[in-house]
Amino acid sequence: MVCPSNLTTATAFLLYLAILLNLVSAHNFSELFQCNWAPDHFVDEGDQIKLTLDTASGSGFGSKRKYLFGKASVQIKLVEGDSAGTVTAFYMSSDGPNHDELDFEFLGNLSSEPYLVQTNVYVNGTGNREQRHTLWFDPTIDFHTYTLLWNHYYIMFLVDGVPLRVFANKEEATSVLYPKNQAMGIYGSLWNADDWATQGGMVKTNWSYSPFVSTFQSFKVDACEFSPENGTVIGKCSKVSQYRWDKSAMNGLSKHKEEQLRRVRENHLVYDYCEDTVRFPEPPKECLN
């Protein structure tokens, strides 16, 4: 590495260390993931993988391991042009009907309309916690980073490091269950959902634009790999405070993150289940302060 002459030795070293750490934390796709759905619609280009969707099928991938608490991120470039009816997803999920799940779902739309990103949290098989946001950029032009952060205190959905949504652990105060006992895999997929994805299903997928393509790259996982014994939560994943994402200092947002979240809600939130009095005449307990 050649350092610019105007950097001090210490500054140059810190810059080099930051670059090195970033490189170390990025994983090759095949290290952690594998195609688990329609391999003929899955394209592995080494540093990138592409999922395709046509009238025959969509495609998807999943992690080889499961994790209990941690941080997972990926860069995605979404379907370009008229993507109505399509859904690109990046999510974590456990197995079984009473599963836990954390969702990023990117809802395609007509070319003249913005993408919507829907987030959802399932606990013990129960979801219905949708929020929808617009984004402050066109996610089809370039790659952007989408991150799921899951610790004992909260679940945070981030876009390019900016918090889009926070789901706090209020289990002790409200008895609302929080995901903490089921290890989750990490997944990505592209599929057809024109029965609901675009304008409530009124706009259908225009297959003349297929195949639709979403591209993923820069996979990063910093999480506690789960190794169950007798099906119980034991070992290092039951006490994970040694990880930087689960230390006591991470039990709340910084003032900067709180301000970012406030601005996102003011300018980009278009639906919040907590404010839907038709579906929920009485607000869900976790929505109460």
Q: What is the DSSP string of 154-172?
A: EEEEEETTEEEEEEE--HH
Please give the torsion angle defined by the CA atoms of residues 79, 81, 87 and 88, in that order, rounded to the nearest 10 degrees: 20
Q: Where are the domains of the chain?
A: 23-287
pTM exceeds 0.75: yes
Query: Do the strands 144-150 and 59-63 form a parallel or antiparallel pair, or are they unpaired?
Result: unpaired
pLDDT exceeds cutoff 80 at 102: yes
Looking at the chain, the whole-number percentage of residues with pLDDT higher than 90 is 77
Active-site positions? 101, 105
Q: How many whole angstroms separate alpha carbon 52 and alpha carbon 99?
A: 27
CATH topology of domain 23-287: Jelly Rolls (2.60.120)
C-alpha closest to that of 50 among 149, 143, 117, 133: 143
Q: CA of 272: how far to CAs of 92, 211, 281, in Å?
A: 21, 32, 14
Q: Per-residue pLDDT for 17 more than 50?
A: no
**Widest pairwise Cα distance in the chain:** 64
CA distance 51 to 39: 9
For residue 40, the model assigns a pLDDT of: 97
pLDDT at 26: 66
pLDDT per residue as tens digits for the range 150-200: 999 999 999 999 999 999 999 999 999 999 999 999 999 999 999 999 999
pLDDT tens-digit readout, 237-261: 766 667 888 888 788 899 999 999 9
pLDDT tier for residue 29 given thresholds of 50, 70 and 90: very high
**Residue 228 or residue 88, greater confidence:** 88
pLDDT at residue 244, as a whole number: 83
Give yes or no for residue 13 having a pLDDT over 60. Answer: no
pLDDT at 229: 62
pLDDT for the residue 250:
84
Q: What is the pLDDT of residues 121-161, one digit of tens each?
A: 999 999 999 999 999 999 999 999 999 999 999 999 999 99
Q: 285 pLDDT band (50/70/90 cuts)?
A: very high
Q: Which residues are 34's β-sheet partners?
A: 62
